[in-house]
């Protein structure tokens, strides 16, 4: 028996290993899951028109994001609750990210504290911290200090979650909270009694929150979950350092456009780096995102599938698989590097 040959086969392995409620929490999306499906299917609709005879022997995959040098333009998106997938949780993910020489964005809802994630990844792992701005600015500031002290190099503020999306799979299983013994460790000590404070989503989130955050930290701020080019322009005007075009993997507002269909207009609107996540499952998907002008992509669920299937080794294999696929796709497209992917490599499929 061979091991998994693709990210999709990792998902099948993970599904076999996980309790159905955990699998559905990871896999599911909001409402009718239209956007969840669209994120993946929009990549298939974009087709490649490769160039030949260009003599590019070994495409250069390395890139740099906000000063972090990484082995490829594929980074780990912030996802909650890694210990639901594997007992080592985010420790295993961080070790695999370090092994792959890429960047990890730790979720504020991680089941391992950010300091421990940083230690597991080691000093060389570029680590960013994803933040949900809280209603009490002192709580938000305490989280910022915690991320700074842990050595995080950027704050990734999620802006697509003014309320929690309605995920019907979770309602069906009665999955509303972490099981006994697992906690959002970054929130420990932040409740009035020194316990674990619940994470809030705030409905009144606005640009003033971003401004206030800028005044309390020197870390670069990345906005995640932005889709509209007009918001991209506002973000740049507010001193934001980079953007992540994202619809939260189809878990928040359903029927939002696929991220790969939104990225080009955002790139055209601003001069700051733009990442995109949602539905990236193949090296060719990475090539398409870069051809549309993105500086990199992030992957969410594939990391969880690797983790559930084989722990740290599984995450490392997922990252390795994407790297090998990206290398092969670039070679077959006649590209010399991830910085040399022309827009005219893409065509829309006729139907
Ligand atoms: C199980 C799960 C948990 C997530 N948790 C968070 C989170 O805590 N914070 C956040 O900003 N995004 C979260 N996301 C969204 C991801 O960062 C990312 O946008 C999305 O997973 C990308 O799509 P993909 O899973 O198709 O790669 C989560 C996604 C999943 C699947
Ligand atoms: O499940 C999610 O997508 C998510 O973003 C989240 C946010 C807060 C707590 C747990 C998960």
Residue with CA at minimum distance from ligand 2 atom 3: 251
Domains of the chain, with CATH numbers?
7-346 (3.20.20.70)
Distance CA 153, CA 329 (A): 31
Q: Which two tokens stand for residue 147?
A: 């991320």
248 flagged as catalytic: yes
Q: Is the dihedral of CA 125, 107, 275, 206 positive or negative?
A: negative
Which residue has the CA at smallest separation from atom 1 of ligand 1? Answer: 26
Q: Which ligand lies nearest the alpha carbon of 225? A: 1
Helices (H) and strands (E) in the chain, counts: 12, 12
Q: How far apart are CA 49 and CA 311, in angstroms?
A: 37
**pLDDT score at 1:** 57
- Give residue-wise pLDDT tens across range 273-292: 999 999 999 999 999 999 99
Ligand 1 site, residue 165, Cβ cutoff 6 A: no
The ligand placed nearest to the CA atom of residue 155 is: 1
Which DSSP letter does residue 152 get? -
Which helix (H) or strand (E) segment holds residue 232: the answer is: helix 229-237
Q: What is residue 144's predicted lDDT score, i.e. its pLDDT?
A: 99
User: Could you give the percent of the chain with pLDDT greater than 90?
Assistant: 97
Task: Locate the ligand 2 atom nearest the alpha carbon of residue 164 and give its number.
Answer: 7
Catalytic residue among 173, 228, 248, 339: 248
- Output phi, psi for 102, to 5 deg: -125, -165
Q: 3-class DSSP state for residue 74?
A: strand
Q: Which two tokens stand for residue 42?
A: 């929009």
pTM here? 0.99
Taking residues 249-262, what's their average pLDDT?
Answer: 98
Among the listed residues 193, 277, 286, 287, the one whose alpha carbon sits nearest the alpha carbon of residue 242: 277
Neighbours of 124 (CB within 10 A): 9
Q: What pLDDT is stored for residue 350 in this prediction?
A: 86
- Answer whether residue 201 shows pLDDT above 60: yes
pLDDT in tens, 20-79: 999 999 999 999 999 999 999 999 999 999 999 999 889 999 999 999 999 999 999 999
Closest among 317, 298, 297, 299 to 307, alpha carbons compared: 317
Contact indicator for 329, 74 with CB cutoff of 8 Å: no
80 lines ligand 1 (CB under 6 A): yes
Residues 6-32, mean pLDDT to the nearest whole number? 98
Report CA dihedral (55, 59, 63, 69) to the nearest 10 degrees.
-120
ipTM over 0.90: yes
Helix (H) or strand (E) holding 26: helix 20-27
Q: Give the contacts of 212 (CB within 8 A, at least 6 positions apart).
A: 137
Ligand 2 atom closest to the CA of 167, numbered from 1: 1
Distance 293 CA to ligand 2 centre (A): 28
């Amino acid at each position: 028996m061979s091991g998994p040959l693709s990210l999709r086969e990792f998902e099948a392995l993970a599904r076999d290993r996980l309790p159905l409620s955990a699998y559905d929490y990871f896999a599911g999306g909001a409402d009718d899951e239209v956007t969840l499906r669209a994120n993946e299917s929009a990549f298939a609709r974009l087709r490649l028109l490769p160039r030949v005879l260009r003599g590019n022997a070994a495409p250069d995959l390395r890139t740099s994001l906000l000063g972090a040098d990484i082995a490829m333009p594929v980074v780990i998106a912030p996802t909650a609750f890694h210990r639901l997938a594997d007992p080592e949780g985010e420790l295993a993910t961080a070790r695999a990210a370090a092994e792959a020489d890429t960047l990890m964005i730790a979720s504020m809802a991680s089941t391992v504290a950010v300091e421990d994630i940083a230690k597991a990844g080691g000093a060389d792992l570029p680590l960013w911290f994803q933040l949900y701005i809280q209603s009490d600015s002192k709580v938000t500031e305490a989280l910022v200090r915690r991320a700074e002290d842990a050595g995080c190099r950027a704050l990734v503020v999620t802006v697509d979650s003014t309320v929690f999306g309605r995920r019907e799979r979770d309602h069906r299983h009665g999955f509303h909270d972490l099981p006994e013994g697992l906690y959002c460790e970054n929130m420990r000590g932040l409740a009035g009694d020194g316990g674990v404070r619940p994470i809030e989503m705030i409905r009144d989130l606005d640009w003033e929150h971003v401004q206030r955050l800028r005044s309390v930290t020197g870390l670069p701020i990345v906005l995640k979950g932005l889709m509209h080019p007009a918001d991209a322009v506002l973000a740049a005007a507010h001193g934001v350092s980079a953007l992540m075009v994202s619809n939260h993997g189809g878990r928040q507002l359903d029927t939002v456009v696929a991220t790969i269909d939104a990225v080009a207009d955002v790139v055209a609107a601003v001069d700051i780096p733009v990442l995109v996540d949602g539905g990236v499952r193949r090296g060719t998907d990475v090539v398409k995102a870069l051809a549309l002008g993105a500086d990199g992509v992030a992957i969410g669920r594939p990391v969880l599938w690797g983790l559930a299937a084989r722990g740290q080794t599984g995450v490392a294999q997922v990252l390795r698989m994407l790297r090998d696929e990206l290398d092969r796709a670039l070679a077959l497209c006649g590209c010399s590097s991830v910085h040399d992917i022309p827009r005219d490599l893409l065509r829309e499929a006729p139907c």
